[in-house]
Amino acid sequence: MYSFEPNEEQQMLMDAVGKYAANDLRPAAHDAEEGHEFPMRLVSKGWELGLLQASVPEMYGGFGDRSAVTGVLAVEEMAFGDLAGALSVLTPSLFATSVLLAGSEEQKKEYLPKIVEGAWAPYTAALIEYSFDFDPNELKTTAKAQGGGYVLSGEKVFVPFAKDAEALIVYANLDGVTQGFIVKKEAQGLSVSTEREKLMGLNALPMYRVKLENVTASRLGGASGHDFGLILASMHLASAAAALGVARSSFEYAKSYAKEREAFGVKIAQKQAIAFMLAEMATELEAIRLLTWEAAWQLDNGKEEALTSAYLAFTGACDMAMMVTDRGVQIYGGHGYIRENPVELLMRNGRGFPMLLGLAIV
């Protein structure tokens, strides 16, 4: 069957997350960006919504099963509030969901209960490298088998909460294949930059560079490793969902503004030039949303085409986010260019998705 409506449980979750996004994240977004800090109080509140906890089975301390469909629904709702806030709340998932998807039984037992049962704690992951043609399937950070274990060397950028991280997953190139490795805080040869990354957007999310010089690490999934494709697809989907949230936020602001602002004696929304932009934004959003849902559904149902579909949804979402957030600013006119108005930050965030792959996972 085809069906296009979240189930009751998903709807409840979306309502709860949506409320948090609208009431807590949205009002905090501007000051957090300007002050380069997201209030931890709000991060904890978001953590208590239990998105990650609900996707981890009981035997590992959670209370549910992972579903990519539920994941994308929740991430869109949360990112609607604020991208930096949402990514802060979801950072521990970067570690935990990858362990859940690809870890050995032992790794799951070691990490999942302590992450999901406790308060929000900085567990994170490092994927991105600093080059224009960064390719998650051809990483420059290397892993080599040594003794019974592995050693990693290389440099990662944009690693959220790396400074305080208890442990992180580092993705590295092992004989031409990308694999995740668990690196502990105290590992020899691991160094985290003292300065935070300075980016065009996302300044409320503390991100760091991470250097690895012959760092000993344990491979996700143990000696036989894991399928990185699954993790990458889950990252593609999370990014697509976050892009939807950011774009929808800009669209909603622009729509309300257009119904208030007057020019030439009418509301600007009554001018076709504005109304058509809004119609196209809405259509684009819905089109990419369905593409994302379908890919997530395919992933949940073990369909062969899921990995390509997730890639396509992500690729489409990157363009959609730029298109929609650019128009958000355009509809505000000169006022859109002023940082006091939310569409300004949303446009900076809207540009980021192609380079921020790996900062969220469902």
Partner 1 sequence: MTIEFEAPKPIVQMQVMLKTVAENMMRSTSREMDENEHAIPWDYVEFMHTAMRSMGGGGGLTINDDKPKEGAEKRPPIGYQKLASQIEMLSWGDVGYYLITPGGGLGAAAVAAAGSPEQKAKFLERFNGDKPTYAAMCMTEPGAGSDTSAIRARAVLDEKTNEWVINGEKIFVTGGDKSFTEYEKLGKGFIVVWASIDPSAGRSGMRAFVVEAGTPGVKITKLEHKLGIRASDTASISLVDARVPFENVLGKPTVEKTTTGFKGAMATFDATRPLVAASGIGVARAALEFLKEKLQESGIEIRYRLPRNKLTSIEKDVIDMEIQLRSAWLLTLKAVWMADNKKSNALESSMSKVRAGDVTTKITQKAVEILGPIGYSREFLLEKWFRDAKITDIYEGTGQINRLVVARQILGYTGAELR
Contact 309, 333 (CB under 8 A): no
Contact 341, 332 (CB under 8 A): yes
**In the complex, least distance from residue 38 CB atom to partner 1, rounded to whole angstroms:** 29
Q: Which is nearer to partner 1, 34 or 286 (CB)?
A: 286
Reduced to 3 states (helix: H, G, I; strand: E, B; else coil), residue 329 is helix
Work out which of 118, 276, 333, 337 binds partner 1, going by CB under 8 A.
Answer: 276
**In the complex, least distance from residue 169 CB atom to partner 1, rounded to whole angstroms:** 20
Q: Which of residues 293-352 bind partner 1 (CB under 8 A)?
A: 293-294, 297-298, 301, 307-308, 311-313, 315-316, 319
The residue assigned the tokens 């298109």 is 323
Contact flag: residue 4 with partner 1 (CB under 8 A):
yes
- Of 190, 160, 186, nearest in space to 172 by CA: 190
CA–CA distance, 106 with 197 (Å, rounded to integer): 34
Contact 221, 52 (CB under 8 A): no
Q: Which residues pair with 156 in a beta bridge?
A: 210
How many chain residues touch partner 1 (CB under 8 A)? Answer: 48
Q: Which is nearer to partner 1, 33 or 294 (CB)?
A: 294
User: Widest CA span of the chain, in angstroms?
Assistant: 77
Q: Which is nearer to partner 1, 16 or 121 (CB)?
A: 16
CA–CA distance, 306 with 310 (Å, rounded to integer): 6
Work out which of 291, 321, 329, 347 binds partner 1, going by CB under 8 A.
Answer: 291
DSSP state, 204? T
Contact flag: residue 12 with partner 1 (CB under 8 A):
no
Q: Which stretch binds partner 1 (CB under 8 A): 5-13, 147-155, 182-190, 208-216?
A: 5-13
Binding mask 125-144 for partner 1 (x = CB under 8 A): -------xxxxxx-------
Contact flag: residue 258 with partner 1 (CB under 8 A):
yes
- Of 134, 135, 129, 122, nearest in space to 152 by CA: 129
Q: Which is nearer to partner 1, 106 or 135 (CB)?
A: 135
Contact 207, 166 (CB under 8 A): no
**In the complex, least distance from residue 299 CB atom to partner 1, rounded to whole angstroms:** 11
The residue assigned the tokens 């970067």 is 94
CA–CA distance, 150 with 129 (Å, rounded to integer): 20
Work out which of 35, 280, 337, 339 binds partner 1, going by CB under 8 A.
Answer: 280
CA–CA distance, 41 with 168 (Å, rounded to integer): 23
Joined tokens for residue 266: 């009418």
**In the complex, least distance from residue 241 CB atom to partner 1, rounded to whole angstroms:** 13
Q: Which of residues 153-172 bind partner 1 (CB under 8 A)?
A: none
**In the complex, least distance from residue 70 CB atom to partner 1, rounded to whole angstroms:** 9
- Of 148, 172, 191, 189, nearest in space to 358 by CA: 172
Contact 83, 201 (CB under 8 A): yes
Which residues are within 8 A (CB) of 350 and not within 5 positions of it... i.e. 6 or more apart?
Answer: 243, 246, 247, 250, 321, 322, 324, 325, 326, 328
Q: Which of residues 29-48 bind partner 1 (CB under 8 A)?
A: none
Contact 216, 196 (CB under 8 A): no
Q: Which is nearer to partner 1, 119 or 266 (CB)?
A: 266
**In the complex, least distance from residue 136 CB atom to partner 1, rounded to whole angstroms:** 8
Q: Which stretch binds partner 1 (CB under 8 A): 156-164, 195-203, 291-299, 326-334?
A: 291-299
Contact 129, 140 (CB under 8 A): yes
Contact flag: residue 264 with partner 1 (CB under 8 A):
no
Work out which of 290, 333, 337, 339 binds partner 1, going by CB under 8 A.
Answer: 290
Q: Which of residues 222-241 bind partner 1 (CB under 8 A)?
A: 232
Contact flag: residue 199 with partner 1 (CB under 8 A):
no
Footprint on this chain of partner 1 (rule: CB under 8 A): 1-7, 10, 69, 132-137, 232, 255, 258-259, 269-270, 272, 275-276, 278-280, 282-283, 286-288, 290-291, 293-294, 297-298, 301, 307-308, 311-313, 315-316, 319, 354
